[in-house]
Amino acid sequence: MDGTPRNGTPLPCSPLTSPQARAIAEAFRPAQAWGSRRDYYYTRGKLGSDPLYDGVLQQLPEDGQPVLDLGCGLGLFAHVLRQRGRGQPYLGVDVDAAKIERARQASEGLPAVRFECLDVQAALPSHVGHVLLLDVVQYLDAGPQQTLLRAASARVSPGGRLLLRTPLATGDGRDRTTRVADRLAWLVGWMGTRPRHYPQPKTLLATLSEAGLRVAAPRPLHGRTPFNSWLVVAERPE
């Protein structure tokens, strides 16, 4: 795995409980009986099966610094933040205008939560604080991926963290399963672009280090899912 142990120590985290996932999913239930329940059931399934949110929250300092969520999709992390009593300002951006509109509608009533439609390959919003890149970078080619990592790192404050979950190019069964699943998500229209480049661990860590961040070794964050998900925690020294 190009310098990173193939089997790291998994983070001790778990998906949301069924009541927690259902409570958040209610925000995505359509007002009309005949409305689409796609987002409602997706949210229940995602939050109830993926340990992503618990794992990231464990690594996100409770220091009140704002959070920039790049490639936020429906903005589920904002709901989890508020459900867990975290009050720091949150800005989620995503290139999918339809998802951003649904995220806005579902987040009505959540304090200090905003969403913007933005391509992460364009100029990023002004921000100083924590930055999230969760299951995003594999949808960029290698060059734009490096550009995004540097731009995201530049927005991490002293004492702030860049929390990045991504598949890594490991060449094993999880790697192959993830590539197939990502491509299927594109083919069915859930993702607006196909996967383009799975980062090599050595290159990824070097890019973040060169940007002035102190980077910990990647740790598995896939839980009981079959995917090749790893969490990278990179912090800017005080």
Tokens 């690594």 label which residue?
59
Handedness of CA 76, 93, 119, 147 (dihedral sign): negative
Please list the residues that pair with 92 across neighbouring strands: 69, 115
Is a pLDDT exceeding 80 seen at residue 227? yes
Residue 143: what pLDDT?
95
Domain boundaries, the chain: 18-235
**Which top CATH class is 18-235?**
alpha beta
Residue 7: what pLDDT?
60
| Whole-number Å distance between alpha carbons of 118 and 122 | 7
Residue 96: what pLDDT?
93
pLDDT in tens, 155-179: 999 999 999 999 998 888 888 888 8
pLDDT in tens, 201-225: 999 999 999 999 999 999 999 888 8
